Amino acid sequence: DTGVSQDPRHKITKRGQNVTFRCDPISEHNRLYWYRQTLGQGPEFLTYFQNEAQLEKSRLLSDRFSAERPKGSFSTLEIQRTEQGDSAMYLCASSYLAVPNTEAFFGQGTRLTVV
């Protein structure tokens, strides 16, 4: 297993377009987190899944954002009608629930640029 994988690594899109990012967690990791990180700031929590259930969403996750994890494995994060303020690094992390308080492992992120 090579760790958490995110695709694409970079995405440039025009304002108003929809974009979708994919995250493949470490095998058997049943918790999956999404974060957003802008320049000079730490990662901001967006949402997390336990298996296929989305258990918590940050108020940062506006109606234009939606995340899914249909089979409890990979997850997608979609942004509709992108705005320039959506330009950021989108990070995914996963952890293994069966080991309490275990650490989460991060992917390398998807860098979104909205022009």
- State the nearest-atom distance from the C-beta of 16 to other proteins, in Å: 27
Residue closest to 10 by CA, chosen among 110, 89, 78, 108: 110
Residue ranges that bind other proteins, judged by CB under 8 A: 4, 33, 35, 40-45, 48, 56, 89, 91, 93, 95, 101, 103-109, 111
**Least distance from other proteins to the Cβ atom of residue 60, Å:** 8
Neighbours of 28 (CB within 10 A): 11
Strand 5-7 to strand 53-57: parallel, antiparallel, or no bridges (unpaired)? unpaired
Asked if residues 81 and 16 have their Cβ atoms less than 8 Å apart, the reply is yes
Of 77 and 91, CB closest to other proteins? 91
Return the number of the residue (63 or 103) whose C-beta is nearest other proteins. 103
Least distance to other proteins, CB of residue 65, Å: 16
End-to-end CA distance of the chain: 35
Residue 31 beta carbon to other proteins: minimum distance, rounded to whole angstroms: 8
Strands 53-57 and 65-68: unpaired
Nearer to other proteins, 4 or 114 (CB): 4
> Which of 76/80 has CB closer to other proteins?
76
DSSP state of 9: S
